[in-house]
Amino acid sequence: MKSMEEMIQAAQAAAQTIQKQMEEAQGKLDQIEVEGVSGGGLVKIRCSAKGRVIGVAIDDSLMDKAEKAMLEDLVTAAFNDARGKADSVAAAEMQKVQMAAGIPAGFKLPF
């Protein structure tokens, strides 16, 4: 049987490995891109899986002062669509890390 000191060292090593994997996963999330769309594709927003907005594309047909309120609503809807997709991708990536580390499904990590 292992001594208590050996068990503590093994637990610390496992915790460090999990921490490293989580940090790598967080870095990967900023490299994954998702696109939110609204208005049938008239407004598109690209963002990272961490939620960082990368770009906004607005169709030229919406560049009319009379359509300002609609354009604002479409940009909001596209951002929310992209954010929802980013959250889904982030959750899936973090679940992969948890499974690889042997952490039970549904266990909430502080990251």
pLDDT tens digits, residue range 55-110? Answer: 889 898 888 888 888 888 888 898 889 888 888 888 888 888 778 777 776 666 55
Upper half-sphere CA count for residue 101 (Cβ side, 13 Å): 24
Q: Would the pLDDT of 4 be above 90?
A: no
Which has more pLDDT, 40 or 63? 40
Q: What is the mean pLDDT of residues 10-17?
A: 83
Global pTM exceeds 0.85: no
Q: Could you give the CA distance from residue 13 to residue 82 in angstroms, rounded to a whole number? A: 37
Homologous superfamily of 4-101 in CATH? Nucleoid-associated protein YbaB-like domain (3.30.1310.10)
pLDDT in tens, 44-67: 989 888 878 888 898 988 888 888
Structure tokens at 28: 């990967």
pLDDT of residue 41: 92
Q: How far out from the chain centre does Cα 2 lie?
A: 40
Question: Strands, E, within 59-105: which ranges?
Answer: none
pLDDT of residue 8: 84
Residues in the chain: 111
Query: Where does residue 34 rank: exposed (0-12), middle (13-18), buried (19+ CB within 10 A)?
Result: buried
Residue 16 and residue 8 in contact, taking contact as beta carbons nearer than 8 Å:
no
pLDDT of residue 108: 65
Question: Strands, E, within the chain: which ranges?
Answer: 33-38, 43-48, 53-58
